[in-house]
Structure 1
Amino acid sequence: ELMRFGAADYLPKNRLSRNSLKRVISNVMAKHKLQEALEEHRQRLEEINHDLLRKNQEIRSFYHRLSSKLADPVTSVRGYLSMLLAGSAGPLTDTQRKYLKIAKEGCDQICLCINDLVEVTALFTGKLAIDPCPVSIDKLVHRVVASMSPAAQEKRIRLKYIIQPDLPEVGIDENRIAQVLSNMLSNALKFTPEGGEIIVRVGDNPISPEFVLVSVRDTGRGIEPDKLPYIFDRLYQVTSSDWMTHRGMGLGLYICRELIRLHGGDTSVQSAPGKGSTFSFTIPKHTPPEASDTAIERERALEKDSRS
């Protein structure tokens, strides 16, 4: 009868004794303490989760404010430096031109960082959408590699690409995939020494033929194994001396990963100290979901990540 009213256990009268009653009371008290501890732990987890969500929102707001505050003055400075270099304020000496070029290159680097902040903010809010359309991947790779060739020649680095013939057109946002490949090539150029080699390979993914695999292999210093799992994480920066020389904001590879995920693909890296690195990404041969649906899914995924 008592079980129907919520009793969790019972003790038959014919088995009732001082010792058994003592054990039952002890068990009930222990169970009650355990339930109290679990409830306290649950409340603590809720507080931690709420705090993490609040901090995540603060980071979003900070990125947005920082990028907005920096963009206008840096653009203005860059514009005036370009005018000076063009001779708008009169002839320049070789020394003046040299210093102005250095200043403009610094502004260009700041502009890249601001663009990263803007893109991360868009990723956070789910407002970064892609516009997929049929694209010839070999033409895209040729265009990006050609744009990087002058920098490779300046460092005397051999830059080449190998593309599997007869690849079909893929449904991608051409500008976004070009951005990903450019970022990976830029990193490879930074960390490959003079006389080194960079090879871009494009072909069917041997593990999943329904995907195209694009890889960028360099002969640089390489990355320690314990750092590889975090290389695409937001704000993560490799701390070895070679990487510290070219230290950025830790957003470039994170943005690459998120852009590829928006396309339904994934990113990966293989590396070892002294043996170079291979950064890869996959893109499906079919057209990914509609941009609006993909953006919503990414926002949900970001909220899930913030809770984990």
Structure 2
Amino acid sequence: MLPPSTAIHTGETSPALPRADTPVRLVVLDDDDFDIEVFRRCVSSIQDLSLTLRSFHTAEAVWEELGREPCDLLFVDYHLEGTTGLDAKKLLNARGFTPPTILVTDGHGDDVMRDAVNGGFADYIPKRSVLPVVVSQVIRSSLEKARLQAQIEQNQRDLAETVKSLESSREEIRRFYHSVSHELKTPLTGAREFVSLVQDGVAGAVTDEQSDLLGAAIRNCDRMVTCINDMLDSSRIETGKLHLKRVVCSFGAVVEDAVKSLLVKAEEKQIEVHVALERGPALDAAFIDPVRIFQVIGNLVSNAIKFTPTGGTIHVSARATEGGSIEASVRDSGCGLSASNQGLVFERLFQSRDDDAATLGGLGMGLFICRELVRLHGGEISVRSKEGAGAEFTFLIPALAPGAGLLSPAA
């Protein structure tokens, strides 16, 4: 059996609580005048609380007399003429009269406890316990519970407003990314083309030194375009607007093309890149978005080049698994990742060191985009690394569309 002051969560909106200098407003709903008088005498003998008490025989009388007037605590007898205290509480609550309610009953034990809990009562008192010390304790504990519930509800409202504000700010940031990315990309693309024309001698002869300088300008334009594209992709991913365009094609060919596009960058650091592909039906006829898989492999290899010292090695591999998936990995001999960073490396804007953006380039979006593109393919990506001993990024994706048989690659 619950002790008389055991807390029971009501799930109701808490009413305004009385001020410290305001009497506690009690209402008793009981169809027995003798019980009402016992309760009245009990309340009047409580000297350490300022209390007012009104009594009624029916729930309708409570509603007609009080309506939505303030009430701090409602005591309801379990047995009422023609009804029960449970139904009386439901009737009043349905009409908006929802003060913390105490069930007063002749019974005790598990049945009473169950009825009190299911009925949403704040507490209950056996009639034999209607004594000044018990009633005083119940009043105090019920008011305190109501105060705490009101505070919880206020905190929840404040939290909801904070979440709403954060979501609004997040949406503004997404729109800003998208807008700025488009505004920057168009003039930057034009600037790169003009620099390329000058390097090609369209505007006149160019010396070797000038050509080198123009080449550096083009590479930095490409670097900025990559950052802009990452921002656009990140925005599309978060808004659900990035969609795959799957075709049946050679996974191995996509890997080779992605690696070839970065060989010059690797040669600048004298890094050897080794590619190992297990040929077979799954790799030769995979159902993928070749542009996005090219992007994933390109991001992983580019990262490997970035963090591998001069003279290092990178291994790129792909194979079909027995479960009908394709496993691809990029392993380097670079600086590796700490154990703590391995759990964060796929998060958006993550930089493994504070100076990464300044010294190594990038916005910290590449691996986040890799993860999301792999997930869109129905796969997962992971990393194994030891600080100072390189890193290996591996992703696994289904080779075919669900329910598809062996298909021929697109021409």
The answer to whether TM tops 0.5 is yes
Match of 2:310 among 148, 171, 194: 194
Deviation at 1:263, TM superposition (A): 0.8
Match of 2:393 among 245, 267, 279: 279
Distance between the aligned counterparts of 1:198 and 1:47, measured in 2? Answer: 49
SS in 1 for 2:349: coil
Pairing 1:99–2:182 present: no
Aligned residue for 2:174?
A: 60
TM-score, normalised to structure 2's length? Answer: 0.65
Deviation at 1:99, TM superposition (A): 1.8
SS in 1 for 2:347: coil
Aligned residue for 2:345?
A: 231
Match of 1:64, as an amino acid?
A: H
Query: Which segment drifts farther, 54-63 or 167-176?
Result: 167-176
Against the structure 1 CA distance between its residues 130 and 42, is the aligned structure 2 distance closer, same or farther, given a 3 Å change threshold?
A: same
Distance between the aligned counterparts of 1:181 and 1:33, measured in 2? Answer: 58
Pairing 1:181–2:297 present: yes
Distance between the aligned counterparts of 1:65 and 1:56, measured in 2? Answer: 14
Aligned residue for 1:3?
A: 86
Structure 1 stretches lacking a partner, 5+ long: 290-308
8 A Cα contact 2:334 2:391, kept in partner: yes
Distance between the aligned counterparts of 1:27 and 1:250, measured in 2? Answer: 53
TM-score, normalised to structure 1's length? Answer: 0.86
Deviation at 1:256, TM superposition (A): 1.2
Match of 1:110 among 224, 232, 237: 224
8 A Cα contact 2:280 2:320, kept in partner: no
Distance between the aligned counterparts of 2:273 and 2:199, measured in 1? Answer: 31
Deviation at 1:51, TM superposition (A): 1.2
Pairing 1:212–2:326 present: yes
Structure 1 vs Structure 2 CA RMSD: 2.1
Aligned residue for 2:248?
A: 134
Aligned pairs for 1:1-308 within 5 A: 1-6=84-89, 7=101, 8=121, 9-168=123-282, 169-204=285-320, 209-239=323-353, 245-287=359-401
**CA displacement 1:24-78 (0-9 Å, x = unmatched):** 1122112101211210121022012101210110111111121122112212211
SS in 2 for 1:10: strand
- Give the count of matched residue pairs: 287
SS in 2 for 1:195: coil
**CA displacement 1:113-172 (0-9 Å, x = unmatched):** 121122222223322111112222223223323333333333222211223343513211
Higher share in strand: 2
Aligned residue for 1:300?
A: none
Distance between the aligned counterparts of 2:262 and 2:137, measured in 1? Answer: 77
Deviation at 1:288, TM superposition (A): 6.2
SS in 2 for 1:131: coil
Aligned residue for 2:58?
A: none
Deviation at 1:244, TM superposition (A): 5.2
Structure 2 stretches lacking a partner, 5+ long: 1-83, 90-100, 102-120, 404-411
Higher share in helix: 1
SS in 2 for 1:42: helix
Match of 1:176, as an amino acid?
A: R
Match of 1:32, as an amino acid?
A: A
SS in 1 for 2:125: coil
Distance between the aligned counterparts of 1:67 and 1:242, measured in 2? Answer: 22
Distance between the aligned counterparts of 2:223 and 2:261, measured in 1? Answer: 17
8 A Cα contact 2:320 2:326, kept in partner: yes
Determine which structure has more spread, i.e. the larger CA radius of gyration.
Answer: 2
Against the structure 1 CA distance between its residues 228 and 74, is the aligned structure 2 distance closer, same or farther, given a 3 Å change threshold?
A: same
8 A Cα contact 2:357 2:363, kept in partner: no
Query: Which segment drifts farther, 145-154 or 127-136?
Result: 145-154
Runs of 4+ in 1 over 6 A off after TM superposition: none
SS in 2 for 1:215: strand
Structure with more relative contact order (C-alpha pairs < 8 Å, separation 6 or more): 1
Against the structure 1 CA distance between its residues 76 and 219, is the aligned structure 2 distance closer, same or farther, given a 3 Å change threshold?
A: same
Deviation at 1:251, TM superposition (A): 1.5
Deviation at 1:183, TM superposition (A): 0.9
8 A Cα contact 1:71 1:114, kept in partner: yes
Deviation at 1:181, TM superposition (A): 0.3
Distance between the aligned counterparts of 1:264 and 1:248, measured in 2? Answer: 27
SS in 2 for 1:138: helix
**CA displacement 1:202-232 (0-9 Å, x = unmatched):** 23458xx343221111000111221221211
Distance between the aligned counterparts of 2:357 and 2:168, measured in 1? Answer: 32
Distance between the aligned counterparts of 1:42 and 1:93, measured in 2? Answer: 68
Aligned residue for 1:295?
A: none
Distance between the aligned counterparts of 1:104 and 1:36, measured in 2? Answer: 62
